[in-house]
Structure 1
Amino acid sequence: MTSFVSAADIDDKALLQELIAWVEIETPSNDAMAVNRLVDHVEQLAKDADLDVERLPGTLGLGDILTVRSPRPEGANEKRVLVLAHLDTVHAHGVIAKQLPLKRAGDKLYGPGIYDMKSGALMALEALKIAVGRGSKMPVDLVFVPDEEIGSYSSRAYMEELARNAGYTLVVEPARDGGKIVIARKGVAMYDVTVRGRASHAGTRPQDGRSAIRAAARLVLELEALNDAERGVTVTIGTIQGGTGRNTVPAECHMQVDVRVPDEAAARESTARIEAMKPVDPDISFEIKGQMNRPPFAQSQEGVKLFDVAAGIAAELGIKLEGVVTGGGSDGNFTAALGVPTLDGLGADGAGAHTFEEHIFVSSLAPRTALLANLMMSLEPK
Structure 2
Amino acid sequence: MIEVHSKESEMLQLLEKLVNIDSGSNNKAGVDKVGEIVGQKFKELGFKVNVVPNIEVGNHLVIQHPDASHIDILIVAHMDTVFEDGTAKVRPFSIDQEKGRAYGPGVIDMKASLVSVLYALQALKDEGDAAYQNVRIVLNSDEEIGSRSSRGLIEEQARGISYALIMEPARKDGSLVTERRGSGRYKIEVQGLAAHSGIEPEKGRSAIEELAHKIVKLHELNDHEHGISVNVGIIEGGNAVNTISSSAIGHVDVRVATPEQASEMEHKIEEVCASTDVRGTKIEVTGDISRPPMLKNEKIAHLFQIVQEVGRELGMAIKDTKTGGGSDASFTAAMGIPTIDGLGPIGGGAHSEDEYLEIASLTERTRLLSKIIQRLHVYK
For Structure 1 versus Structure 2, the TM-score category normalised by the shorter chain is over 0.9
Q: Say whether 1:375 aligns with 2:372.
A: yes
- Of 349, 352, 365, the residue aligned with 1:352 is 349
Partner of residue 84, structure 2: 92
- Residue 222 (structure 1) aligned with residue 217 (structure 2): yes
Cα offset, 1:147, TM superposition: 1.2
Distance (whole Å) between structure 2 residues aligned to residue 315 and residue 367 of structure 1: 13
- The equivalent position to 1:235 in structure 2, one of 201, 210, 230, is 230
Q: CA deviation at 1:70?
A: 3.4
Trace 1:321-340 onto structure 2 (pairs within 5 A). Answer: 321-340=318-337
Report the CA distance between 1:7 and its aligned residue: 5.3
Q: How many angstroms does 1:329 deviate by?
A: 0.6
What's the CA shift string for 1:43-91, capped at 9, x where partnerless?
21111111222222224x12111122235555x4xx5200001111111
Question: What is the CA–CA distance in structure 1 between the aligned matches of 2:58 and 2:196, rounded to whole Å?
Answer: 47
For residues 63 and 179 of structure 2, the distance between their equivalents in structure 1, rounded to whole angstroms, comes to 26
Displacement after TM superposition at 1:275 (Å): 1.5
Structure 2: which amino acid aligns with 1:120?
S
Match of 1:302 among 292, 299, 302: 299
Q: What residue identity is the alignment partner of 2:288?
A: Q
Q: Does 1:108 align with 2:101?
A: yes
- Tell whether the 8 Å contact from 1:181 to 1:322 is kept in structure 2 after alignment: yes
Question: Quick one: percent identity of the two aligned structures?
Answer: 36
Is 1:38 aligned with 2:27? no
User: Gapped runs of 5+ residues in structure 2?
Assistant: none
Deviation by residue 1:235-294 (Cα, 9 ceiling, x = unmatched) = 111111111211111121111000011110111111110012222344222111101121
Partners of 2:376 and 2:219 in 1: how far apart?
44
Structure 2 counterpart SS, 1:11: helix
Q: Count the aligned residue pairs.
A: 373
2:57 equivalent to 1:56: no
Q: CA deviation at 1:208?
A: 1.6
Q: Deviations over 1:325-349 (max 9, x none)?
A: 1111111111111111110011010
- Which letter maps to 1:45? K
Distance 1:137 1:244, change over 3 A: closer
Q: Secondary structure at the match of 1:379?
A: helix
Partner of 2:174: 179
Q: What letter corresponds to residue 250 of structure 1 in structure 2? A: S
Q: Is the CA contact (8 Å cut-off) linking 1:190 and 1:258 kept in structure 2?
A: yes
Q: TM-score, normalised by structure 2?
A: 0.94
Give 5+ residue unaligned stretches, structure 1: none
Q: Write the mapping of 1:192-207 to structure 2, written as runs, cut at 5 A.
A: 192-207=187-202
Say if 1:137 and 1:305 are closer, same or farther in 2 by CA, change over 3 A.
farther
Q: In structure 1, what is the equivalent of residue 117 of structure 2?
A: 124
Separation (CA, whole Å) in 1 of partners of 2:306 and 2:121:
18
Q: Which residue identity is paired with 1:101? A: P
Amino acid at match of 1:279: T
Q: Distance in 1 between matches of 2:308 and 2:161?
A: 21
Deviation at 1:26, TM superposition (A): 2.0
Q: Does 1:65 align with 2:60?
A: yes
Shift of 1:28: 1.6
**Counterparts of 1:51 and 1:125 in 2: how far apart (Å)?**
11
Q: Which amino acid aligns with 1:187?
A: G
| Offset, 1:97 | 2.3
**What secondary structure sits across from 2:327 in the alignment?**
coil
1:47 aligns with 2:43: yes
How far residue 142 of structure 1 moved from its aligned partner, in angstroms, is 1.2
Contact 2:163-2:339 at 8 Å conserved across structures? yes
* Structure 1 residue 214: Cα displacement: 1.3
Amino acid across the alignment from 1:217: A
Partner deviation per Cα, 1:198-226 (whole Å, 9 max, x = no partner): 22221121112221111111111101001
- CA contact 1:138–1:377 (8 Å) conserved in 2: no
Deviations 1:271-322 (A, max 9, x none): 1100122223442221111011211111221110110111111122222111
Which AA in structure 2 matches 1:29? S
CA-atom RMSD, angstroms? 1.7
Which secondary structure state, in structure 1, belongs to the residue aligned with residue 234 of structure 2? strand
2:72 maps to 80
8 Å contact 2:158–2:332 — kept in the other structure?
yes
